Amino acid sequence: MKVYKTNEIKNIALLGSKGSGKTTLAEAMLYECGVIKRRGSVEAKNTVCDYFPVEKEYGYSVFSSIFYAEFLGKKINVIDCPGSDDFVGNAITALNVTDTAVILVDAQYGVEVGTQNIYRTAVSQRKPVIFAMNQLDGEKADYDNVLEQMREIFGKKVIPIQYPIVSGPGFNSMIDVLLMKKYSWGPEGGVPKIEEIPAEEMEKAHELHQHLVEAAAENDETLMEKFFDQGHLTEDEMREGIRKGLIDRSIMPVFCVSALKDMGVRRMMEFLGNVVPFVEEMPAPVDTAGNPVRPDSEGPLSIFMFKTTVEPHIGEVQYFKVMSGTLTTGIDLDNVDRGSKERISQMFCVCGQLREPVDKLCAGDIGATVKLKDVRTGNTLDARGCDFAFDFIKYPAPKYQRAIRPANEADAEKLAGILTRMHEEDPTWEVTQSKELKQTILSGQGEFHLRTLKWRVENNDKLPIIFEEPRVPYRETITKAARADYRHKKQSGGSGQFGEVHLIIEPYTEGMPVPDTYRFGNQEFKLNVRDTQEIPLEWGGKLVVCNCIVGGAIDARFIPAIVKGLMDRMEQGPLTGSYARDVRVLIYDGKMHPVDSNEISFRLAGRNAFSEAFRNAAPKILEPVYDVEVMVPADVMGDVMSDLQGRRAIIMGMSSENGFEKISARVPLKEMASYSTALSSITGGRSSFTMKFASYELVPSDVQEKLLKEYAAKNVED
């Protein structure tokens, strides 16, 4: 394989919603470029891109797959991404290391929520966008309707390069308004017949051609002047204008394809090879210091590791992009993130699971390597003297959680190692050990996302695991002041234990003053604060402790022990064992013994006095509430609203956005446990949602009563 220079390399992300046909299109692209001799199919489980066992089992892409094609003297690297929103992390990674997004739109279903989501991501990454309208031969295909929908949603930048003469089962020909030719195919697709445009299509073709010429000319003053003078542009001038329009993101071309029958694919590949910008023409990525790093093959060598897979008989395969310089085999590099050294002993250009060894890759190119010692996804490897570091991939917050444990507790350590490896393969699988919940929490983008991990662990690693609903991180607080005292006394021969603590507790809000008098029943307590500690809590809120001891009732050396006792109960609240927060404690009296008093005595006395006072202070349970935004088609909005209201949601607002309805609501986390699955079921997978922590709010009284009973029953069992 020849060594391609930076000005001969193009990097493309292949995107689209689930079922739009990306993997099938990838097969057709590989076939048209001569990489494979026979096209596989998803149904036959023999495609180049979907080669992992879980992908063959489920029949959809789980991981992004990288392939390259040598076409028209250029090297085109393509990353084929899963369409499901559950695997959006792969698409985000791909967009960060490629330069152009090709987004498939299903001609039968039009612009779906998944299409809009990935489009927004591409725009946020400032990537040129090309649309390919696929499945034009489908039963429900309607080119004109879908094109109009695209223009309404994505704007006037959507410019057709082609249009079908007929869409639907009769689709077998189209008009290319860039080349002004008619393309037609036989029943099996493949090599097209290229003819002059029929007279009955000439008027429409000429009108669309003029729109394309105007769009191309707008991106270059010289072309604009020529267009005004002559009224037309040459084919090469139009290509140059479109290329500049792609770079400026002022034009979004639309192509027509049937990936299944290989119709229009080669023509689209010609456009990718001739018109799409090269790596060096795109804005330079920025390193962690904020400096742009040009893809200069003569510059200092730096590579970015953007993807990891674990494959049978090979182990870890690390995928990288050469950010600067020229990479050769046998070179030693420094891992900027981990402080280790690595030798690149082997390099490959990849087509799915097919790998071709190479000795050199220039800036902008994408490759893979194996047998690295200490490299993680997201690491930067630099040659000596280079100080680049990259951290530009930002993943979305998880939307679905499950507690995970092995069926056999003896396998806990083995499971931890597997989950660490899985996170390397897909960083949107997040694993946390929750001290608060006493569970291992697995987070992801949806039920399918986590179910896929479960299948792989149980089938590939032969380790049975159990998913459970995560416990909810409730908080406990109080709503009024209360007082209590407790004497801890223990005598068992020799020195004993003695400590007595009197205290008052009250709800705390930032900046509130300390009253000098408290009244409980007929008793009045006048306090003089000698010392105040504010303890910020890891889980939010504060514990404020005021020392109001007078006359030496409790020696100052025992106050830290009392505070430890208070923290014991703040970490395990008296109501449900949840964290407590936002409490002020005033220690105003107590007793001690000259021999038997010690730290443990006052720690226990403080803890038990706090527990008693807490229960008398009108305690309340707080629950985490999230801001949720749901994008739904208008026809199912009522059903989605009803479901949200059944989840104790407060609807904050509704609006229309690009043909979809957006519902904004605040929903308790407890009610979101199965929302991903429910929303998919209600809307047939046509909706998506995001959620972000908002605040802790008081639970309704009936919910609190239920939680208290559950906690009491659990303690009885224990």
Range 580-608 average pLDDT: 93
Residue 716 has pLDDT above 80, yes or no: no
Residue 592 has pLDDT above 60, yes or no: yes
pLDDT for the residue 84: 86
**Is residue 295 helix, strand or coil?**
coil
Measured CA to CA in angstroms, residue 307 lies from 440, 505, 533, 545 at distances of: 25, 53, 48, 50
Range 12-31 average pLDDT: 93
Q: How many whole angstroms from its chain centre is CA 45?
A: 27
Instruction: Give the pair of three-digit tokens for residue 243.
Output: 């290329």
Q: What percent of the chain has pLDDT over 70?
A: 99
Residue type, 660: F
Residue 118 has pLDDT above 80, yes or no: yes
Q: Which residue has the tokens 């946020």?
A: 124
Candidates 219, 260, 259, 214; CA nearest to 241 is 219
pLDDT for the residue 451: 92
- Enumerate residues 6+ apart whose C-beta is below 8 A from 481: 504, 505, 506, 507, 518, 520, 617
Residue 66 has pLDDT above 60, yes or no: yes
pLDDT for the residue 334: 95
pLDDT for the residue 677: 86
pLDDT per residue as tens digits for the range 411-469:
999 999 999 999 988 999 999 998 888 899 999 998 889 999 999 999 999 999 999 99
Which domains are present in the chain? Answer: 6-197+249-281 (3.40.50.300), 302-382 (2.40.30.10), 403-471 (3.30.70.870), 476-618 (3.30.230.10), 621-703 (3.30.70.240)
Task: Report residue 660's pLDDT band, with 50, 70 and 90 as the boundaries.
Answer: confident
Please measure the distance between the N-terminal and C-terminal CA atoms of the chain and give it in whole angstroms: 67
pLDDT per residue as tens digits for the range 456-493:
999 999 999 999 999 999 999 999 999 999 999 987 76
Are 248 and 216 spatial neighbours (Cβ–Cβ below 8 Å)?
no
Measured CA to CA in angstroms, residue 556 lies from 488, 516, 552, 559, 609 at distances of: 18, 21, 8, 5, 18
pLDDT for the residue 218: 84
**Pairwise CA distance, residues 621 & 39, whole Å:** 60
pLDDT for the residue 706: 92
**Pairwise CA distance, residues 577 & 436, whole Å:** 9
Residue 166 has pLDDT above 80, yes or no: yes
If phi over 0 gives left and psi between -120 and 50 gives alpha, with beta otherwise, what is residue 394?
beta
Residue 44 has pLDDT above 90, yes or no: no
Residue 58 has pLDDT above 90, yes or no: no
Residue 155 has pLDDT above 70, yes or no: yes
pLDDT per residue as tens digits for the range 624-659:
999 999 988 888 999 999 999 999 999 999 998 767
Buried b (16+ CB within 10 A) or exposed e, 594-605: eebbbeebbbbb
Range 601-617 average pLDDT: 95
pLDDT for the residue 494: 67
pLDDT for the residue 717: 62
Range 319-324 average pLDDT: 97
Taking CA 423 as the corner, what is the angle to CA 422 and CA 428, rounded to the nearest 5 degrees? 120
What rounded mean pLDDT belongs to the chain?
92
Instruction: Give the pair of three-digit tokens for residue 650.
Output: 């407060």
pLDDT for the residue 60: 80
- Enumerate residues 6+ apart whose C-beta is below 8 A from 30: 36, 39, 48, 67, 69, 351
Range 568-588 average pLDDT: 93
Are 367 and 361 spatial neighbours (Cβ–Cβ below 8 Å)?
yes
**Pairwise CA distance, residues 205 & 211, whole Å:** 10
